[in-house]
Structure 1
C-alpha cells in the first residue's frame, strides 16, 4: 500500500513516523485515510501491539489535542461527554468538558463499556456534538475517534450493535510486526516516551484544507454505478442477512477519494476502492452462516461484478 502514496506531505508524515511505529505502515496509512475522510476507526487486536502509540503519534504529528477514555463497565456517559458542576462563587453551573472534546480521542476497549455509555459516543461520532443538561456543545474540528477492542475477550464485554459499528468508517487490525521490525523494537525498547517528543508536521488549518480538497476529488458516474451495483449485491446475496447501508456507500466514496489524493491524483480509480474494501465493508455486514469469512464473501461478490474501465 505504501508504494502507492505519492503526495509529498503525506509521504513526509509516514516516513517520519516509521521510526516511532515500526512495522505499522499499513495501519498508519489507513488511519490517515480515515482522518482525512472525516471518518472514525475501530481497531480489533490483541493487547500490546501499539494501538495507543499509534493514536498518540498521530495527534502529535498533526498537532491535534488528544484524549483517552479507558472503558470499564462502571464508566458513565458523563465521563465521556463532561458534566455541569455548580460553582458556589458565581452561583451558576459550569460545564467541565470530557475527553470527547479533543481532536483525537482514543476509546480503549470500547466493548467493556455498557450500551448506555457506548451510546454517548454515538451522537458525537454521528453529529459531531454532545448534549449535556439540555445544552449542545459542538466538537472541535477536526474530530477523530480511534476505538479498540480485544477479539478474544468476551467476559464482561458488551458487543457493539450494528448501528454503532456502521458509524466506524474502517475496522482494522495492526497485527504482529515482522520479525525484523520486532527485533529492532526489542533492541531499542518501547518508543512510548519518544513518541511524546514528536514534532508536528501539520496543523489544524492545513488538515481542514486538505479535507476540503479531498471532497472535490472527482469520481465518475461509471465508478458510482459500479459501487451501487456492489452495494445492492450485498443486500441480495443469500449468504448475507444485513447488507450495506447508504452510509457505507458514502464512507467508501470518501475513503476512495482520500486514497486517490494520497496517490497524487484528483480522480478516483476502481483500484482505490478495491484496495480499501477489506477495511471498509466486513464489519458492516452480517452473515447467515460462518462457512466463509466476511472478507471472502465480499471479495467473491466484487469479483462477479465487471470493473469499469
Structure 2
C-alpha cells in the first residue's frame, strides 16, 4: 500500500490598486512570489480584494473611512484591516486533507526582498510546527512587545476578558503562518475569523480608555494574539504554555529563528483565574526554573539537529573519519538509532 505524504501548500494575498481596489498596487509581486515558491511547495493559491468580493466575501475587504489607531500601516483601512487573513486560510484548508500543511506568507517582495527566499520552506514549516508543539504556528514579535502595546484595549477588555495575562502576553506577528490541517487548527481559525467580524474589534476606532502603554493597533494580528493568550490561559487543547517559543527575524527572514528567553509573564498564571496554575507535566518542576530548563533543552536539541544534518551532507561529499565521529556523537546525544 502506497503511503500518502502530506502536501505543503502556499497561500498569499495582494492588493491591485485602482480600478480593482483603492489600496496599493502590489500586483507585480504576484509573479515574483510564484517564481520564488513554485519549486518549493506543492500548490500556490492567491487572493485579492476583487477575488474575495466576487466570491461573496466582500465584508472582509471593505473600505473604512478612518485609519484611526492603525497608524503604522494606514493602507489596511482600504482592505478591511486584514480581516481577510483568517478567511483565506480557512478557504484553502477546506481544499486540503487532514495532516496537510498550509503556509501563509506576506507577498511584498519588491519592498522586502527576504520574502523571496523559499528554499527549504517545507522543512522550515515542519520545524516551526514541531518547535511550537501545536497544529498552528505564528511567531512571536521579534521585538519585545506586549499585547497591551499593539492591541486596542477594548479588545483585551472584552475578548481577553480583561485578564492581566491577556495584557502581558507577548505580541505575535501574522506575516508568516504555518498550519497543519486538523479539527483544532480549524477551530482556532474559525474563532479568529469570527472575532475579526466584530467591527469594534477590527476597526481603527477607539472605544473606551486606552492602556497607558498602548502604541498602535495591529488589527487582525492583535486579535489573534489575544485569542492565543486565552487558549494558553485556559489550557485549551493542551496548547504548550511556552507557545509559540520562537520568533522569525523581522517576521520575514525564515532562515533566522530566535528562541524567546524571557518567560517571566507566565508567573501571572498563578495569580489569575487560569484553569491550570502550574506548568505542564513535561516541565517536571512546577516553577519557572523548570520552564527555563525545558526551553534550554529545546534550543540545544534544535541546534544539534541542524548541525547533524549539515555534517551528514558534508560527509557525503567529503568523507572523513573525523566528521563521522562527530556525526556519531551527535546521533547518540539525540538518541538516534
Same fold flag (TM > 0.5): no
TM-score interval w.r.t. the shorter chain? under 0.3
Structure holding more strand per residue: 1
Pick 1 or 2: higher relative contact order, CA cutoff 8 A, min separation 6: 1
